[in-house]
Amino acid sequence: MIGYALRRLGFGAVVMFLVTVFVFMIMRLVPGDAVSLQLQDTGVSKAEADAMRAEFGLDDPVWVQLWTWLGDAVQGDLGTSFYSGESVVDLFLARIPVTVQLGLMAMMLGAVLGLVVGVVAAATRGSMVDGAMRLFAVAFLSVPNFVVALLVLTGLAIWFAWSPPIVYTGPAEDFTSWAQQIAIPVIALGTGGMASVARLTRSSMLESLGSDYIRTVRAKGVRERVVIAKHALRNSTIAVLTLLGLELATVLGGTVIIERMFSLPGTGQLIYQAVLDRDYPVVVACTIFYAGLFVITIILIDLLYALVDPRIRSGKALS
């Protein structure tokens, strides 16, 4: 088990390194750099622009830049923003909490509600409840998250003449205001995941409920409640865990738009602006942050697999 965990971690480190190199290269290879973008239409001479490039280190070969950057990054210095001149680390630390709150709550909403809906639908297979749940799941799956957000916003505004506060406040300062502000983004980001989790839970629960080992459990005289909650659900989680990993990518991608829509000061907004500005240090740091979040989740999910399934612990493939 420990060996398995270490192997996963090592794998994660390799992926992170490759992502870093890749992102760094791509950003440098895209035509039009930050300097030309900042100086366009200002009539600054080429010599002055080159001087600025030299100052930012943009005239070195790409691999030298990469090497310098990696060296600094290892020491906790991710560079400074070409624009604001602030340290990228500081920019980040200020914004990470918002995105993590948003992402975590959206994932939780999706996972927990999705599981509940899926289990109920499977247990009541073929009933009205099951039908309604499946219909809603398809609806939520087909509507993009920003549309959900708009619909909720509009609905609340029309029927209750209410809209969330515009300026973000942290949960520690004003919990009510924070909750009001973050609720709709969480719902918008979470519903898609909830729908896919619900659908997958339902189908893998049904598969599990029709399996030979569930027949054995029933033949033992175990209550149907226990059959579902203990045996069928646990066997279904394996498939659902895989989905949650993929869902995280969707949620993280979603934060970029949703944070802008609700003017939440998170990393999503940061990366959006940085890309527009070609603010390399920020873009690179953001991308690596997102990739890192993703890799960590995947590792966590792999470890959860092993926790749930003894066949993975002992290194036997899933059959």
Partner 1 sequence: MPSPPLLEVNDLYVQFPTPTGPVNAVAGVSFTVSAGETVAVVGESGSGKSVSSLALLGLLGSGKISSGSVLLRGDELVGAGREKLRRLRGAEIAMIFQNPMSSLDPLFTIGDQLIEALRVHRPMSRRAARARAVELLREVGLPDPERRVRAYPHELSGGQQQRVMVAIALTCEPALLIADEPTTALDVTVEAQILELLRTMQRDRGTALLLITHDMAVVAEMADRVVVMYAGQVVEHGLVEDVLRDPRNPYTKALIDSIPTPATPRDRPMPAIAGNVPTPAQAPPGCRFHPRCPSVFERCSVDAPRLYQLGETRASRCWLHETEPSGSVAETVEEVHRVG
Q: For binding to partner 1 (CB under 8 A), which residues are involved? A: 210-224, 231, 234-235, 308-311, 314, 316, 319
The CA distance from 206 to 199, in Å, is 11
In three-state secondary structure terms, 87 is strand
CB of 253 to partner 1, least distance (A): 33
Nearest approach, Cβ of 213 to partner 1 (angstroms)?
A: 4
Question: 7 or 215, CB closer to partner 1?
Answer: 215
266's CB contacts (< 8 A; 6+ apart) are 95, 96, 98, 99, 102, 255, 259
Least CB distance from residue 231 to partner 1, whole Å?
5
Answer yes or no: are the C-beta atoms of 279 and 267 closer than 8 Å. no
Nearer to partner 1, 7 or 316 (CB): 316
In angstroms, the CA 108 to CA 186 distance is 10
175, 176, 177, 183 alpha-carbon torsion, rounded to 10° = 100
Give the bridge partners for 62, in sequence order: none
Compute the least distance from the CB of residue 125 to partner 1, in Å: 10
Nearby residues of 3 by Cβ (< 8 Å), 6 or more positions away: none
Toward partner 1, which CB reaches closer, 240 or 258?
240
- Neighbour count for residue 29 (Cβ, 10 Å): 8
Q: How far is the CB of 127 from partner 1 (least distance, A)?
A: 14
Nearer to partner 1, 129 or 222 (CB): 222
**HSE toward the beta carbon, residue 263, CA cutoff 13 A:** 6
Least spacing, CB of residue 166 vs partner 1, in Å: 49
The distance of closest approach from Cβ of residue 135 to partner 1 in the complex, given in angstroms and rounded to an integer, is 23
Report residue 177 CA to chain centroid gap: 24
**From CA 95, how far away is CA 266, in angstroms rounded?**
4
Tokens representing 228 are 């579902």
Of 155, 242, 253, the C-alpha closest to 197 is 242
85/315 with CB nearer partner 1: 315
**Taking the CB of residue 97, how many other CB atoms lie within 10 A of it?**
15
Strand partners, 80: 87
Please say which residue, 46 or 220, places its beta carbon nearer to partner 1. 220
Q: 10 Å Cβ neighbour count for 138?
A: 12
* Closest separation in Å from C-beta 299 to partner 1: 21
The nearer residue to partner 1, 177 or 242, going by C-beta atoms, is 242
Burial of 30 (0-12, 13-18, 19+ CB in 10 A): exposed
CB-nearer residue toward partner 1: 34 or 306: 306
Q: Report helix, strand and coil shares of the chain as percent, to nearest 5.
A: 80, 0, 20
Q: Which of 13/229 has CB closer to partner 1?
A: 229
CB of 221 to partner 1, least distance (A): 4
